[in-house]
Amino acid sequence: MSILSRERNAESGFSEVAFGYTGNIRMRNRKIAILLSGRGSNFMAIYEAIRRGDLDAEICCVISNIADAGGILRAREWGLQTIYIPSRGVERTAYDRMLIEALRPFDPAVVCMAGFMRILSPEFIAAFPSRVMNIHPSLLPAFPGLHAQRQALQYGVKISGCTVHLADEGMDTGPIVMQRAVEVLDGDTEESLSERILEQEHDVYWRAIASTLSQETMRID
Ligand code: GRF
């Protein structure tokens, strides 16, 4: 098997084609799967970017590990395909296998964690190589983990922000796709800083997805 990546020519699609090859050729699609656990404002911002025509993609499914997460309720209202996979009491590898099984039929080009409060197993990452994205409310590698905005304030940094990255099996680690800086203001509280960072998250995530999707990959198996 070989994997060829090339830039898409804006006018004519791919500037090169592979021929004389008998294997299966699978073009990468533009389907996004969303994983979330909470209010889902990042998911909603991605949905809005698609609706406005800024992001040429389609949300193929929204999966939540929390039954009444705001994000999955909204996705249902919008008529998107939603899947609830409860995680309470389920061991990580077993849970991630269920996630993989749920996602596979959709064949997503990217899997976007949008406030999905779980660390993914190596098996999950291997099932969707370089296709899992995450957003985190700090300038990684600073302040990974929970309460990143609180950590930034406690440290006393003057600039924080948010990061979209490809996820690996670590916590908030993996290659950075895009970042946005946000100034920490005198008198900022965790809430006020979080709010300004979130505003940037909503604008940067869909752009990072667009950039990732534009790295079109033609796979020859
Ligand atoms: C965001 O701050 C995101 O960076 C972090 O979790 C939060 C999710 O917020 N990973 P929302 O559910 O998208 O509103």
Query: What secondary structure letter does DSSP report for 194?
Result: H
**Single-letter amino acid, residue 201:** E
Question: Does 136 sit in the ligand 1 pocket, CB within 6 Å?
Answer: yes
Here the tokens at position 201 are: 């998250």
Predicted confidence at residue 217, as pLDDT, reads: 52
**Which pLDDT tens digit goes with each residue over 31-84?**
999 999 999 999 999 999 999 999 999 999 999 999 999 999 999 999 999 999
Question: Does 144 sit in the ligand 1 pocket, CB within 6 Å?
Answer: no
Query: What secondary structure letter does DSSP report for 71?
Result: H
Q: Is 136 helix (H, G, I), strand (E, B) or coil?
A: strand
Strands 13-14 and 176-183: unpaired
Q: How far is the CA of 86 from the centre of ligand 1 (A)?
A: 19
Closest residue by Cα to atom 4, ligand 1, is: 136
Full-prediction pTM beyond 0.75? yes
Q: How far is the CA of 83 from the centre of ligand 1 (A)?
A: 19
Q: Residue range 131-151: average pLDDT?
A: 98
- 165 catalytic, yes or no? no
Predicted confidence at residue 13, as pLDDT, reads: 36
* In contact, 123 and 97? CB cutoff 8 Å: yes
List, in sequence order, every residue forming a beta bridge with 133; answer none if it has no partner.
Answer: 112, 166
**Which pLDDT tens digit goes with each residue over 70-102?**
999 999 999 999 999 999 999 999 999 999 999
| Burial (CB count <10 Å: 0-12, 13-18, 19+), residue 37 | buried
pLDDT class for 216, splitting at 50, 70, 90?
A: low
The alpha carbons of the chain give a radius of gyration, in whole angstroms, of 18
Answer whether residue 21 shows pLDDT above 70.
no
